[in-house]
Structure 1
Amino acid sequence: MQNSTDSYTNEKNHNGFLWLTTVITCMGSLLFGYNTSVVNGSLDFMAQRSQLSLSTFSQGIVSSGLTLGAAFGAVFGGPISDKVGRKHIILWLGAIFTIGAIGCAWAPSSVILIIFRFILGLAVGSASANVPVFLAEIAPSEMRGKLVTMNQLMIVFGQFLSFGINAWLGSAFGSNASIWRIMLGVASLPAILLWIGMFFVPETPRWLASQGRYSEALQSLLKFRSANNAKNELAEIKEASKKDVAEATQQATWADFKQPWVKQIVITGATLGVLQQFAGINSVMYYGTKILEASGFGTKAALISNVANGIFSCIGAVIGMYTVDRLGRKFLEYSGLIVCAICLIFVGIISTFASSASWSGVAVMITVLIYIIFFQGTLGPVTWLINSEIFPAKYRGLGTGITIFALWFANFLVGLFFPVMLSSLGLANSFYIFAACCILGIFFVHARIPETKGIKLEEIEEYFHKKYDK
């Protein structure tokens, strides 16, 4: 008979492997953050000091080509993961990230650079859809929030890492016309770690069970759970999928999404992703320097102050990781939308009525940092988490791909039109629009989002099935 000390040690070992698997998988999230942000500090070197001779239009394509690729990577990466498995697609992404980073660093022309940036975008988009799903499918229900929000922490850490590496390389080796190649090529290191690491982690038990491979699903669960917990959880998974045994090995198709209840899940997840982006976070992350300049900061001061965005993003993500399983998804969504709306309105008021005051610039910067820390601790991670939870196993890959495609397309629209909004409408009116989206989001969350804290994935499926399959 196993004593309590042995049981504790056994559970601790399983949790240790669970966290190790999470860190390995989240290298994909780190690469998401790094590759979306690295161009922010390297673009000037590409355009002005290298043989690429990028025009203004080409600079825009280099910057936004990754985002466009990410949208397609999300929508096509999901169905592929349904077919080949969560582990195998993330393993392939490690190789694609490596090839893309080396290709960008080597690129002899702007055309080649744009092609490899688009390839990186495909990997970024697929990682954004598949990493949260992988984590949700291996996590115990009581730890799912914490593990899946590691995805958000690693995204913002990747962004911060790119800011820091670019600042160091640009300051120390800025006279080297090719330093941008190192900035882009550094991403190959975590990509190689992701590729190698994924060879040593198991496939997710829920994907294996969805294929009718219950023996392998049990072996996978035994890597992450004690023997008793693994057997009990597999029995629950079997029971939940019993009505679909005849379809267990069939892949989801676009026709399946015509079912009313599945369609409603897609609408819920996609709208949540769009609202996350229309809350304005990437106007701050992409154009933080311009916002501070518009508030009275000098160019150099704005650049230095903008580094704080990365630091506060990481702090917010850590807070979110440790509160999401305590406070719940809906509470964090409400809190984030309310506080973000207040911050955006406050910046607008300062810009409208006190723009000439000596304290206005500092007040805007502090308010923006409060906005960042709340967003990254609430709306940022919870949106990815809910999208990974609400789809049944059979539809999870394709469904998540569709909803993340909507998120990425909204991201693209914010990045494309915010400079136009800033120049034509001004900072205040631009932020009022984002605040209005936050307020609309409060009503949407109240009407459409169930509380999923501590609820098994199979029970979440049953909730949507009963609510919308009429």
Structure 2
Amino acid sequence: MSSLSKKQSLEPDKDSKVSHDHVQLNTSDAPEEAPHYQGATVSLQHNVNAILQNPLAGIPQDQLMVDVRAFCNMAGLMAHLDVFERAALVAQEPESWDRVPDLSPEEKRSLTREVTHRWSLPGPLWLLVFVVSLGSAIQGWDNTGANGANLSFPQEFGIADNAWLVGFLNSAPTISGLVSAWLCDPVNNLIGRKKTIFVTGLFTVFPVLGQAFTHTWWELAICRLLLGVGIGCKITTIPIMTAECVPASIRGGLVMSFQLFVAFGIFIGFCSNMIFYGVGKLAWRFELAAAFVPAVPLCILIWWVPESPRWLLKKQRYSESFLSFCRLRHTPLQAARDLYSAHVQVELEKETVSASSYGKRFVELFTIPRVRRATLGAFIVMIGQQMCGINIMAFYSSTIFSEAGYSTKQALAASLGFGAVNTLFALPAVKTIDTFGRRSLLLFTFPNMAWCLFAAGATFTMSTDNAARVPLLAFFIYLFTAFYSPGMGPVPSVYASESFPLSHREMGMGWSIFVNNFFSTILSLTFPSMLKTMGPTGAICFYGGLNVLATVMVFLGLPETKQRTLEELDYVFAVPTSRHASYQCRTWLPWFIKRWIFWQRNAAIPPLYHFAEHASQGATVTRLAKD
């Protein structure tokens, strides 16, 4: 029986200290063989009791030292054996690390500050988050460049009356992104995260500049299709790399830098539109081409950041993975802890979710229960982002304001306000996404976005002579954006990047971006015709209804992932969807009604998830975990 499947006495007595000398004596006599991981006591496929488990918890410490020595011997890390032994003890009892002997004052200080100063991170990690997030600014800037260009390029190319063709040109990057998103898996597998971001960054430099020199609509279409090739694969890789490098306690806040930079790119794009508005007939060329700016520092600075240590681990390049973790953590102890914990969980995952071929990994997105639930969760957040209607505002806000009676300059100025609100209200999510939670943010913001759109659509029923008509429209669109930015804005990229196991992470993220781009393409293609056929009121209220539907989808099918390590999420997504939905309907909803409708302050709710523990007598017990 493997060490990970034992259920006898798994921890030392609470009142005793671990003897490090005794541990060293046992490990020195241990046979040099690789550890065998047969699986944890909690199923990774059908975790019906919603128990979360540390894969190292429950291993006798002498056996743990044997496993650590075998790992270091296999990985070529014997020179760091002492660090890995202490790191494994810390990983085994992360909340009781002060019981581990021989920790240096610097190590104790760093472990303490992980809790007390969560945002105190090494400089290379801050640089990594900043650099990779620059790639998402390109996406936001291009969206708003097209927003302003929509007011003039259709007239220059003689296609102003062809709503479908205008929609196609706007959606061209997402159309080609449908294909390039699926390249994430093979390209990342072949060249790694860093090089993938660099190569795709080149596609966001030259095609973007090329838009300024086009003479026909089909030349513009080619440039925008090439841009989409880079964007589709890049925005699939960026959240993955960030999620794999940052600590679990603030992973949401750091991975959401992706969306924060999208919002910032949208705002800068609107500023650029206002700057180039006075150029005249050439304005739309400058508005589209300006989006290349963030790609230049991205392609240069990406070579100064470390490769994703979990990608290196996946490739069994253990020494390089350890060096990468060392650059991204304050001490080698923290690096060794994260590397060994990830290695153990990967070995457990191989029993149920390992796959060798591209086609098999794709099929397993829908056939392996643990992966299928992650696929469902990613589908919900990605389609929800398009259902809420934000991309309609990003692409067509100037057109909507123009329909309401604004001049071109006034429409651009009003859209600039949309970009400013989008950026400003994204900032609180840096904290709330890891405290309030991904799921809770969506359940709060979706209903509020719905009524904002209903109200915005209603303003078009007011008389055009009413001076309050356009200001009210702007107010409700801004309010809609204020609810979107801290919720549906950052959550999809964060959620999709963290949900899938390491073996299927690129494939799963490719699926997620495909879903997002597919429905973004449909919306971009259909909205001009919808606006023409249904009128502004009908078109905007249609998306208000979709927000209501998205609320139901999130409530029934989306597990919470905040403050869980990427490895712990294996157990979260092992909980059957029916079990999760049943808990929400039969336990959480009645509690919510009692607590917040009838204001019963004594209303209590049992949590869905429990942490597995191992008592000193050998019995497996559980403790409650906050959902």
**2:270 equivalent among 143, 148, 163:** 163
Q: How far off is 1:63 after superposition? A: 2.4
Q: Which residue of 2 aligns with 1:81?
A: 188
Q: Which residue of 1 aligns with 2:447?
A: 338
- What amino acid maps onto 2:567 in structure 1? E
Task: Give per-residue Cα distances to partners, 1:356-414, cap 9 Å, x unaligned.
Answer: 64423322211110100110211111111111111111111111111211111111111
Task: Give per-residue Cα distances to partners, 1:253-287, cap 9 Å, x unaligned.
Answer: 32333423223322331232112111111222222
Equivalents in 2 of 1:232, 1:335: separation in Å? 36
2:188–2:506: 8 Å Cα contact kept in structure 1? Answer: yes
Does the alignment pair 1:134 with 2:241? yes
- What amino acid maps onto 2:529 in structure 1? V
Q: Which residue of 2 aligns with 1:146?
A: 253
**1:228 equivalent among 333, 340, 348:** 333
**Which 10-residue stretch deviates more, 150-159 or 314-323?**
314-323
Task: Give per-residue Cα distances to partners, 1:174-224, cap 9 Å, x unaligned.
Answer: 3xx555444444333321211111111111111111222222211111111
Structure 1 residues 254 and 308, CA gap change in structure 2 (3 angstroms): same
**Which 10-residue stretch deviates more, 347-356 or 213-222?**
347-356
**2:368 equivalent among 256, 260, 270:** 260
Unaligned runs of 5+ in 2: 1-103, 580-627
Q: Which residue of 1 aligns with 2:468?
A: 359
Q: How far off is 1:288 after superposition? A: 1.6
Map 1:384-395 to 2 at 5 A. Answer: 384-395=493-504
Q: Which residue of 2 aligns with 1:238?
A: 343
Q: How far off is 1:157 after superposition? A: 1.2
For the residue of structure 1 that corresponds to 2:377, the secondary structure is helix
Q: How far off is 1:332 after superposition? A: 0.6
Q: Which residue of 2 aligns with 1:400?
A: 509
Does the alignment pair 1:409 with 2:518? yes
Structure 1 residues 109 and 360, CA gap change in structure 2 (3 angstroms): closer
Structure 1 residues 167 and 340, CA gap change in structure 2 (3 angstroms): same
Q: How far off is 1:12 after superposition? A: 8.3
**Which 10-residue stretch deviates more, 117-126 or 420-429?**
420-429
* Larger Rg belongs to: 2
1:270–1:404: 8 Å Cα contact kept in structure 2? Answer: no
Percent identity, aligned pairs only, is: 27
**Which 10-residue stretch deviates more, 267-276 or 459-468?**
459-468
Q: Which residue of 1 aligns with 2:401?
A: 292
Q: How far off is 1:235 after superposition? A: 1.7
Map 1:60-459 to 2 at 5 A. Answer: 60-107=167-214, 109-171=216-278, 173-174=279-280, 178=282, 180-226=284-330, 227-244=332-349, 250=356, 252=358, 253-261=361-369, 262-295=371-404, 297=406, 300-352=409-461, 357-459=466-568
What is the aligned residue count?
Answer: 464
1:11–1:225: 8 Å Cα contact kept in structure 2? Answer: no
Structure 1 residues 63 and 293, CA gap change in structure 2 (3 angstroms): closer
Equivalents in 2 of 1:359, 1:239: separation in Å? 62
- What amino acid maps onto 2:393 in structure 1? V
- What amino acid maps onto 1:138 in structure 2? C
Q: Which residue of 1 aligns with 2:31?
A: none
For the residue of structure 1 that corresponds to 2:397, the secondary structure is helix
1:93–1:195: 8 Å Cα contact kept in structure 2? Answer: no
RMSD: 2.9
Structure 1 residues 104 and 428, CA gap change in structure 2 (3 angstroms): closer
TM-score scaled by structure 2? 0.68
TM-score scaled by structure 1? 0.89
Structure 1 residues 144 and 354, CA gap change in structure 2 (3 angstroms): farther
For the residue of structure 1 that corresponds to 2:307, the secondary structure is coil
Q: How far off is 1:40 after superposition? A: 2.5
- What amino acid maps onto 2:260 in structure 1? L
1:212–1:248: 8 Å Cα contact kept in structure 2? Answer: no
2:134–2:261: 8 Å Cα contact kept in structure 1? Answer: yes
Task: Give per-residue Cα distances to partners, 1:296-348, cap 9 Å, x unaligned.
Answer: 54554333222111101111221222321121111111111021012122224
Structure 1 residues 198 and 460, CA gap change in structure 2 (3 angstroms): same
**Where is the helix percentage greater, Structure 1 or Structure 2?**
1
